[in-house]
Amino acid sequence: MRAPRAIAVCLPITIAALSVCLGRALAQNATTPSTVSQDSIKIGIVIPMTGTSGAVGREISDATKLYMAQHGDTVAGKKIELLIRDDQSVPDNAKRLAQELIVNDKVSFLGAGLTPSAMSMAPMATEAKVPTVVMVSGTSVVVDRSPYYVRTSFTLGQQSGIIADWAIKNGSRKAVAILSDWAPGAEAGKVFEQNFTKGGGQVLETLKVPLANPDFSPFLQRARDLVPDTLFVFVPAGQAGTFARQFSERGLDKSGIKLIGPGDITDDDDLPTTGDALVGVVTAGMYSAVHPSQLNKDYAAAYKKATGHRANFISVGGYDGMNLIYQALKITDGNTDADTMIGTMKGMKWESPRGPISIDPRTRDIVQNIYIRKVEKVGGEPWAIEFETFPAVKDPLKEAAAN
Ligand code: PHB
């Protein structure tokens, strides 16, 4: 009579959640009596480990493993297990993998990656009540998709408004926007244009570049033909190297047009391969591998030693995501109840390699410093050198919606 009892406890919920609930109920029945002793706590992270966004998955995987290597694999007397799953940037895969992690592996936490995947996992996290740390997505709306979502990455709006204001202050008036054609690109463009036009500037044209295997050349040519004084560009992690090459091949690095953007175009993972193409470029970002704090010096050195790569802005989303889970578990003494967990995470503050950060208790979104940085060569390699700090920046789209 196991199955009918499992169905009965699952009935008051939607069909989408039925399979999740059934899996859990059946698994519990199989190990009756029902209090399953939880000696280990599993964290299941769904990220692209292969394909065009494979670098993103590598960075999150490396950073979360580094965190565990440094902080141990036991919290509040419980062993922590990390399960990493490759969604190949396909939202349907992310949904299926999240379901398997919940039902089969019985994870207590999920980690979410790219925006489309994080969106598709949200109903699972909600129905099964699994606290989920958004470690990559930079789209404002994602965290609203589930009451169990908390973000440790960034939003494009946090950076794009600040760089628009900086550009106006420094004489820019006519801009062209080149944006990767998906949700984070749309948000970057929206907030940039709002602030740029408010300051008296004009966006001459917005050019949208396909996300997969992008060829920037025709868009760069079109941008140049419009004779702007400024080019605002958003490309996601993994594409800055290609962009920089095509930018300099077209001679745009010597054209006098100022290149600006959120931090993604000066991704530390790509900068070492960009030669002189991005030298002088100014961006507003939340992390630079040369952020001058002792904590970051130690983080960047340990990351480089463990992986052979520079730490970058994606990696800190994973590293801080693990810290959020570890610190919250310490406070709850290992209690993983979703509402208790989310309640504990709201308002948490700590020092990240990127600087001081916190979780906004109202929105569950990240509050962090945004730095204005200029690419300069130091020791023969380009780095994003911070020269101005905007402290404790919230996501402007959420703030605007609340007012
Ligand atoms: C996202 O998934 O929203 C995303 C990913 C990589 C970026 C920016 C945004 O560089």
343 pLDDT above the threshold of 80: yes
DSSP-based three-state secondary structure for 143: helix
Chain segment 64-86, per-residue pLDDT in tens: 999 999 999 999 999 999 999 99
Chain segment 163-190, per-residue pLDDT in tens: 999 999 999 999 999 999 999 999 999 9
Distance (angstroms) between ligand 1 centre and the Cα of 137 equals 5
Question: Mean per-residue pLDDT for 260-274?
Answer: 98
Contact 152, 324 (CB under 8 A): yes
- Looking at residue 205, its pLDDT comes to 98
Percentage of residues in the chain with pLDDT exceeding 70? Answer: 91
Chain segment 203-234, per-residue pLDDT in tens: 999 999 999 989 999 999 999 999 999 999 99
252 pLDDT above the threshold of 50: yes
Rounded (5°) CA angle 144-150-151: 95
| 184 close to ligand 1 (CB < 6 Angstrom) | yes
Distance (angstroms) between ligand 1 centre and the Cα of 243 equals 16
Confidence of residue 52 (pLDDT cuts 50, 70, 90): confident
Nearest to 27 by CA among 100, 93, 76, 85: 100
| 114 close to ligand 1 (CB < 6 Angstrom) | yes
Instruction: Give dist(CA 229, CA 241) in Å, integer.
Output: 23
Two tokens at 347? Answer: 């308002």
Helix (H) / strand (E) containing 204? strand 202-209
Pocket test for ligand 1, best of 60, 90, 115 (most atoms within 8 A of CB): 115
Helices (H), 141-292: 156-169, 183-198, 217-225, 240-249
Instruction: Give dist(CA 230, CA 167) in Å, integer.
Output: 8
Chain segment 96-112, per-residue pLDDT in tens: 999 999 999 999 999 99
Close Cβ partners of 278 (under 8 Å, ≥ 6 residues apart) = 240, 244, 247, 253, 259, 265, 266, 271, 375, 382
Of 11-15, 190-194, 238-242, 251-255, minimum mean pLDDT range: 11-15
Averaged confidence pLDDT in the chain: 92
Please give the model's pTM, rounded to 2 decimal places: 0.91
| 153 close to ligand 1 (CB < 6 Angstrom) | no
Close Cβ partners of 94 (under 8 Å, ≥ 6 residues apart) = 46, 87, 112, 113, 116, 117, 118, 120, 121
Question: Mean per-residue pLDDT for 296-304?
Answer: 98
